[in-house]
Amino acid sequence: MATLCRPTVSVPEHVLTMEQTLDLARSVHTDHPQLDLALRLIENTGVAKRHVVRPIEETLRHPGFEQRNAVYEAEAKARVPEVVRQALVDADLRPKDIDLIVYVSCTGFMMPSLTAWMINTMGFRTDTRQLPIAQLGCAAGGAAVNRAHDFCTAYPEANALIVACEFCSLCYQPSDLEVGNLLSNGLFGDGVAAAAVRGRGGTGIELRRNGSYIIPRTEQWIAYEVKATGFHFRLDRRVPGTMEPLAPVLKQLAHAHGWDAAALDFYIIHAGGPRILDDLSKYLGVASEAFRFSRTTLTEYGNIASAVVLDALRRLFDENGTHDTARGLLAGFGPGITAEVALGNWSTGREAA
C-alpha cells in the first residue's frame, strides 16, 4: 500500500496581519461603494496573518504580468528545493528513489514545468516521470495525493514526490474592484509544500481509496479571467454553500470502503474559509474540533491554495495525536467545483487493518 509521508511546509518571511490587510483595503479602496461589505467578508475569514514573497509595498505595485511571472519562477527555484530535500529526508528517500514528481500550482506559469528544472538540478533520475497540474486551483493538493496514489498502485515498488508551490500574492490586481477579488486579497497567502508517497514502507497515511467529483454546472463559480495584467480571481457568492452537495459524496466514498465518514479518527480538509469548514462539519455530522488542523492553517497562513491539505497533514504529524491504523479522510476543493477525496489509515509501516 502507498503511504503519504510527513509533508514539509515553508512560508515566506514577509508577514501581513489582518489589521494591516483591513487598513490597506480602507486606504487603497476608499471610494469603493461596497467597501464595508468587503471589509466584513475579510474579517470573517478568520485569517490572523499571512506570509507573502515580496514586501507589501512591492506586492501592492503591479509591474506587469511578465515581471510578475519572472518573480514566480525565481521564487519557486529559490524556495522549492529546501522543502523537497526535507520531505525526502522525512520519508527516508533520496532523489534517485523518486519515480514520479507531481507539481501543482495555479499562481504562475512555466513551460517546461519546474519539474524539468528539478530533475536537472536536484539529483533526480532523467527517467523520472513528470506530472505538472496547473488548473485545479485549491483542489490540486488533493489531486496530487490521488494521482501519486494511483501511480504507486500501478507500480507498487515506485515512489512519488508531491510539490505544491503557491504565491497567491503575485495575483494581486489593484485595479480589479469586484468584491470577490477584494475578498481574495484578504484570504490567500503564499506557501510551498512537499511530501513523498512511498510505494512500500514509511510512516504516515496508508492510502486506501480515492475519488473525484464535480458539482454540475458550477464551472464558473471559482475561476480565473486571464487578462493582459495576469490572473483575475473570480468567486461566486454561492461557493460557501457547496458543502451541502459535497458532503454526501464524501459519505458515499467512505461507505464504499465500509467506513462511516462521520466516525473517522482524523480529517485533513482544504480550508477555503470558515464557512466551508463549518458547513462540512454540519453536513458530515462531525464535531468542529475534527477540523482543527485546517482551521489552524487558515488562521496562521490564510488560504495557501493547493498547499493547504499538506500543511494540515503536517500538523497532524506534529501533534502525534493519532494511533496506528486510525482511519481518516483527506479532501481538497476547488474550481469545477471539484472535490478530490482520499481515504487512508495511519500506519507506522506495518500492514493496516
Q: Which amino acid is at 6?
A: R
Nearest alpha-carbon partner for 327 in 254, 270, 275, 256: 254
Q: 5, 106, 138, 171: which one is catalytic?
A: 138
Would you call 138 a catalytic residue per the annotation? yes
Q: What is the dihedral of CA 32, 14, 232, 181, to 10 degrees?
A: -40
DSSP 266: E
Cell of 229: 495584467
Distance CA 286, CA 164 (A): 28
Instruction: Return the closest-CA partner of residue 49 out of 9, 78, 79, 11.
Output: 11
Nearest Cα to Cα of residue 234 among 220, 244, 249: 220
Tell me the CB-side half-sphere exposure of residue 200, using CA atoms within 13 A: 5
- Other C-beta atoms closer than 10 Å to the C-beta of 208 total 17
Rounded distance between C-alpha atoms, residue 219 and residue 14, angstroms = 33
Q: Please give the Cα distance from 303 to 351 (Å, whole number).
A: 34
Kindly report the CA angle at 333 between 212 and 43, in degrees rounded to 5? Answer: 170
Give the whole-angstrom CA distance, residue 42 versus residue 26.
12
Q: Which amino acid is at 210?
A: N
- Cα–Cα nearest to 141, from 251, 289, 269, 244: 269
Contacts of 90 (CB under 8 A, 6+ apart): 5, 6, 8, 196
Report, as residue numbers or ranges, the catalytic residues: 138
